[in-house]
Amino acid sequence: MKKILGIFLCAGMIMSLAACGGGAKTGTAQEGVLVMATNAEFPPYEYHEGNAIVGIDAEVAAAIADKMGCTLEIEDIAFDSIIPEVSSSKADMGMAGMTVTEDRKQNVDFSVTYATARQVVIVPEGSDIASLDDLEGKTIGVQQGTTGDIYASDDYGDENVERYAKGMEAVQALTQGKIDAVIIDNEPARVFVSENEGLIILDEAYADEEYAIAVRKGNTALLEQINAALNELKADGTLDAIVAKYISAE
């Protein structure tokens, strides 16, 4: 059974029920409810704090729901289940530090970009891996289904990639000497390195990316509502303020 966590009540719900994405879910959701599928293992974008899911994406999603006049429900599932969940209308949107890729665009539509990010490489201090070129022939840990997984498999061969359900599990394997490096998004990498002594992030970025919100392909009405809300949050400074709460300036 999936866990439904972090219910946010939004002002004006009764007056704006028709604007909420739940109505597009083929009868599986209550009216006035916006269901967000995520994987809450990706700090500072989404992570557990007690019984709640918090982070940048959780707060941005709550702000979007507020502008749409709905209640937000956050559904915590495996990362590689998010797009199938959205495509099958079991969730209204997917938001999990999700990079826009051509492959993903075959299955879902994406909102306007709300964040930029980069993939980086974590290695132990003193590692002989000093650049991306040094990753050849090494065992690389990734979170399954992420762009780090996709890129590493393409660049270094599937046989050199170890997949984990959670980014933290890949980092733990690195600290235990089971793998040589981890490829993951920069902000979670910073958190993991701060929490695990003896790890560093290579200076050279692995890839630059853009994050957006996934919705069911063809769900134009919901996509337009999300884009309108995001653009307002950008314009009034709310988006920047949310990000600043979790990510300090370099």
Q: Identify the three-state secondary structure at position 158.
A: helix
Q: Is there a cis peptide before residue 44, judged by omega within 30 degrees of 0?
A: yes
Residues 186 and 236 in one domain: no
pLDDT per residue as tens digits for the range 197-240 = 999 999 999 999 999 999 999 999 999 999 999 999 999 999 99
Residues 229 and 144 in one domain: no
pLDDT category at 249 given cuts 50, 70, 90 is low
Residues 100 and 12 in one domain: yes
Q: What is the pTM of this model?
A: 0.80
Mean pLDDT of 16-37: 60
Rounded to whole angstroms, how far apart are CA atoms 34 and 218?
17
Tokens of 167: 């980014």
Q: What CATH number is attached to the domain comprising 140?
A: 3.40.190.10
**CA 43 to chain CA mean position, Å:** 9
Q: For the chain, what is the domain count?
A: 2
User: What confidence score (pLDDT) does residue 248 get?
Assistant: 74
- Cα first-last separation, the chain: 40
Q: Please say if the pLDDT value at position 132 is more than 60.
A: yes
Residues 137 and 237 in one domain: no
Q: Domain residues for 84? A: 3-114+212-246
Residues 100 and 216 in one domain: yes
pLDDT averaged over every residue in the chain: 89
The contacts of residue 221 (CB under 8 Å, 6+ apart) are 24
Residues 175 and 228 in one domain: no
User: What confidence score (pLDDT) does residue 1 get?
Assistant: 36
Q: Please say if the pLDDT value at position 99 is more than 60.
A: yes
Mean pLDDT of 171-177: 97
Residues 41 and 110 in one domain: yes
User: What confidence score (pLDDT) does residue 19 get?
Assistant: 53
- Identify which has the larger pLDDT, 190 or 15: 190
Residues 64 and 121 in one domain: no
User: What confidence score (pLDDT) does residue 27 get?
Assistant: 34
Give CA torsion, residues 49, 96, 150, 128, to 10 deg. Answer: -40
* From 3-12, 68-77, 226-235, the region with the lowest mean pLDDT: 3-12
* From 13-27, 134-148, 152-166, the region with the lowest mean pLDDT: 13-27
pLDDT category at 15 given cuts 50, 70, 90 is very low
Residues 104 and 228 in one domain: yes
Q: Please say if the pLDDT value at position 8 is more than 50.
A: no
Ramachandran area for residue 202 (φ above 0: left; ψ -120 to 50: alpha; else beta): beta
Beta strands across the sheet bearing 52-54: 41-42, 46-49, 52-54
Instruction: Say how many residues make up the chain.
Output: 250
Mean pLDDT of 4-10: 39
User: What confidence score (pLDDT) does residue 11 get?
Assistant: 35
Name the nearest CA neighbour of 112 among 42, 65, 172, 64: 64
Tokens of 198: 């003896």
**Which residue type does 230 have?**
L
Name the nearest CA neighbour of 201 among 211, 216, 189: 189
Mean pLDDT of 141-164: 95
* From 77-86, 135-144, 239-248, the region with the lowest mean pLDDT: 239-248
User: What confidence score (pLDDT) does residue 21 get?
Assistant: 56
